[in-house]
Amino acid sequence: MKVYSNEIVFRGHPDKVSDQISAALLDEYLKQDEHSRCGIETVGGKGKIFVTGEVTSKGEVDVQAVTKRVLRDIGYSDDYEVINNIGLQSEDIALGTNDEVKGAGDQGMMFGYACNDTKQLLPTAMVILQKLAMKYDELVHSNELFYADGKAQITGYYDDDMKLQKIKDFTISYQNAETDRETTDKILIDYVTDLCKSYGLEVENFLINPTGKFLIGGFEGDAGLTGRKIVVDAYQSFGKVGGGCMNGKDPSKVDLSGAYMAREFAKELLKKHDLRWCEVQLSYAIGLKKPLAIYITSDKGNIEPDEEMYVRAMPENIISELDMKHLCYEKQACYGHFY
């Protein structure tokens, strides 16, 4: 029996707040100009939020208003100084990604993963943590004892096929008023216990705020930075992770669009070949349309990609097929991009 762990952070975690601000700004630019080119980074901490990166767009976005709206939506005060340091996208990059060339916005490799554990075609432990994160967001907005920051982790027993058999430790670190921990802990333990039972799983041990206290959180407790939670955004360590963050980037950036297409391929191949799991790697060179390579592995061995996959994986075709100019990226940044 193997012991393996995976993790999620809640919406109010400083890194996730930064992800959501970057994504919300991207949404606004794309809403005003679907040809916007964006690579937006956010760092927050100690009363200041610094927004930087590059944007080329006909849209005019109020960076301060969007940033403060995101903070309020998550459950924080908007009493922050917002510093706008966004500049123009490099003309050198634009040479390879403009509407005439339509090449990949960067080099790199992206991974897509799917498995038959759940109806979402994702690992059971990953789905459980996503549902907990969504529930926690509800509690933050309905119960004044719960504050926005937090994270959770499952350490589970797995069989030789990496099927989760039992949960050894369920760890939850959550920010709260620290006035009635017996009540707030019980709310979380009861919810998780019932949730795990719905998947036929027992929890041996709960670790709730192992330091004993979690009152100071958010940007007052820690700095936050866009792109520091790429494992949470992808497959929580069950699948490989590419080198780039998906938040704050328009879909010409293959860190985003390539990762979404790789996931689509993995889901399709899982069903087509009756697989237990499938992982797809796409790789690109900046300015070129077609992927350099598509590598597919699964529980039944390697699968040879066909030419149609190379064509579908061209950035302009991904954007069209998956309607990527009209997704709500702020929503995608909340709990992980795949759910």
Distance (Å, whole) CA 128 – CA 131? 5
Are the beta carbons of 30 and 45 closer than 8 angstroms? no
Distance (Å, whole) CA 92 – CA 106? 12
Distance (Å, whole) CA 306 – CA 331? 33
Structure tokens at 15: 């890194």
Check 37, 68, 151, 289 and give the catalytic one.
151
Distance (Å, whole) CA 203 – CA 114? 25
Q: How many CB atoms lie within 10 A of CB 23?
A: 28
Are the beta carbons of 41 and 227 closer than 8 angstroms? yes
- 106 is a catalytic site residue: no
Check 131, 228, 263, 289 and give the catalytic one.
228
Check 34, 73, 178, 222 and give the catalytic one.
222
- 249 is a catalytic site residue: yes
Check 11, 37, 68, 253 and give the catalytic one.
253
Task: Give the amino acid at 37.
Answer: R
Check 7, 10, 11, 13 and give the catalytic one.
13
Check 7, 19, 27, 41 and give the catalytic one.
41
Check 214, 219, 238, 265 and give the catalytic one.
214
181: left (phi over 0), alpha (psi -120 to 50) or beta: alpha
Check 7, 15, 137, 330 and give the catalytic one.
15
Check 229, 263, 267, 312 and give the catalytic one.
229
Check 27, 233, 255, 279 and give the catalytic one.
255
139: left (phi over 0), alpha (psi -120 to 50) or beta: alpha
88's CB contacts (< 8 A; 6+ apart) are: 54, 55, 56
Are the beta carbons of 224 and 46 closer than 8 angstroms? no
- 222 is a catalytic site residue: yes
Task: Give the amino acid at 279.
Answer: E
Of 259, 253, 326, 250, nearest in space to 38 by CA: 250
- 16 is a catalytic site residue: yes
Check 16, 37, 68, 263 and give the catalytic one.
16
Check 78, 166, 185, 223 and give the catalytic one.
223
Task: Give the amino acid at 158.
Answer: Y
- 223 is a catalytic site residue: yes
Length of the chain measured in residues:
339
Are the beta carbons of 282 and 315 closer than 8 angstroms? no
- 13 is a catalytic site residue: yes
Distance (Å, whole) CA 312 – CA 264? 11
- 264 is a catalytic site residue: no
Check 249, 263, 312, 337 and give the catalytic one.
249
Check 54, 169, 264, 299 and give the catalytic one.
54
Distance (Å, whole) CA 123 – CA 267? 13
- 23 is a catalytic site residue: no
- 54 is a catalytic site residue: yes
- 19 is a catalytic site residue: no
Active site residues: 13, 15-16, 41, 54, 151, 214, 222-223, 228-229, 249, 253, 255
